[in-house]
Amino acid sequence: MSLLVTGSIGIDTIKTPYSVRENCLGGSAVYFSMTASFFSPVRFVGVIGSDCPFDLAEVFAGRDVDLRGLEIREQSKTFRWAGTYHEDMDDRTTDHVELNVLAEAPPKVPDEFKGSEFVFLANTAPILQQQLLEQIDEPVFVAVDTMNLWIQQYLDDLTALLEKIDCLVINEDEARILADQQNLVKAVRKILDMGPSVVIAKKGESGSIMCNTDGDIFILPAFPAEDVKDPTGAGDSFAGGLMGYLAQTGRTDFETLKTAVAYGTVLASFTIADFSLDGLTSINRDDIDSRFETLKKMTSF
């Protein structure tokens, strides 16, 4: 089935305790599209300014990513982010942000994309996510990411959005803030009461937990990574693997969602093994399936 993503394209500068990478390609829509395209064609919706040094057509060459939703605004500048990861590689500090085009009107969803069935709205202001969602005719399954900034400052917008979506993918700490509940299982259940039928809380190197309104629970550890070079994009790669697999199968039952979470976990593990997209460019679907089987073996008893 068709899969659409809306999200950012970023120029990232990343520092870790071991290395630095300046002005590399990043952004939620980029990581999502790269990972989801291993499973399903992707319809890409996002905005850059005329300063963007990356040719996305070249970045996605040979991959089934439809860039007709990429808007280049001549008078605007591309989103920039600089961050530093600390020793455990799970915590990070934002050093610098220039929202630039992300502070302007959201991109237009092309007419050819309006019939999309699976939709991922990457993290941005919930009011913009809602405006993007309104441009899709009748989506089958809508997943959304958000962050503490919106929870704390635009809670009304976010709760309005939650009533209209199927799945919220959220960091564990943000889930606790959104639900005002320290216990993660209880927090996730409380968010289910706000609208989505599925909530997936991401716990970084501790894995993830997924619950649905039928009371089903799925818990999965992260893939045990020996070399983490750059965790940037892990969450969007997780979402890309997840939604890519769902769109490929066309199903959203809990058993399919479990497999999709495992694929998301696998894709995130490839992303964090190198800077920017470097951990993803040299792999193929066989590598992904092989690590999926390894993860299955490592977690089964």
Note whether 24 binds a copy of itself by CB under 8 A: no
Strands 20-26 and 10-15: antiparallel
Contact string (CB under 8 A) for a copy of itself, positions 59-88, x = contact: ----------------------------xx
Shorter beta-carbon distance to a copy of itself: residue 151 or 211: 211
Q: Which amino acid is residue 203, in one-letter code?
A: K
Torsion of CA 254, 259, 260, 264, to 10 degrees: 140
Closest approach of a copy of itself to the CB of residue 278, in Å:
19
Neighbours of 177 (CB within 10 A): 17
- Residue appearing with tokens 């890309």: 240
Note whether 298 binds a copy of itself by CB under 8 A: yes
Closest approach of a copy of itself to the CB of residue 202, in Å:
12
Interacting residues with a copy of itself between 198 and 237 (CB under 8 A):
203, 205-207, 209, 217-221, 224-228
- With contacts defined by CB under 8 A, name the span among 54-62, 126-134, 141-149, 178-186 that binds a copy of itself: 178-186
Q: What is the DSSP string of 149-195?
A: HHHHH-HHHHHHHHTT-SEEEEEHHHHHHHHT-SSHHHHHHHHHTTS
Closest approach of a copy of itself to the CB of residue 152, in Å:
18
Contact indicator for 91, 80 with CB cutoff of 8 Å: no
Note whether 91 binds a copy of itself by CB under 8 A: no
Characterize 223-239 residue by residue with b for buried, 16 or more Cβ atoms within 10 angstroms of its Cβ, and e for exposed: bebeebbbbbbbbbbbb
Shorter beta-carbon distance to a copy of itself: residue 102 or 234: 234
Neighbours of 33 (CB within 10 A): 31
- With contacts defined by CB under 8 A, name the span among 67-75, 92-100, 229-237, 256-264 that binds a copy of itself: 256-264
Shorter beta-carbon distance to a copy of itself: residue 51 or 88: 88
Closest approach of a copy of itself to the CB of residue 298, in Å:
5
Shorter beta-carbon distance to a copy of itself: residue 183 or 290: 183
- With contacts defined by CB under 8 A, name the span among 19-27, 132-140, 147-155, 176-184 that binds a copy of itself: 176-184
- Residue appearing with tokens 């394209």: 9
In the structure encoding, which two tokens stand for residue 197, read together? 């039928």
DSSP character at residue 222: P
Closest approach of a copy of itself to the CB of residue 185, in Å:
5
Shorter beta-carbon distance to a copy of itself: residue 75 or 182: 182
* Region of 250 on the Ramachandran plot (φ > 0 left; ψ -120 to 50 alpha; else beta): left
Separation between Cα atoms, residue 61 and residue 67, nearest integer Å: 11
- Count of residues near a copy of itself by CB under 8 A: 32
Kindly list the residues in this chain that would bind a copy of itself in the complex (CB under 8 A): 87-88, 182-186, 203, 205-207, 209, 217-221, 224-228, 255, 258-259, 261-262, 296, 298-301
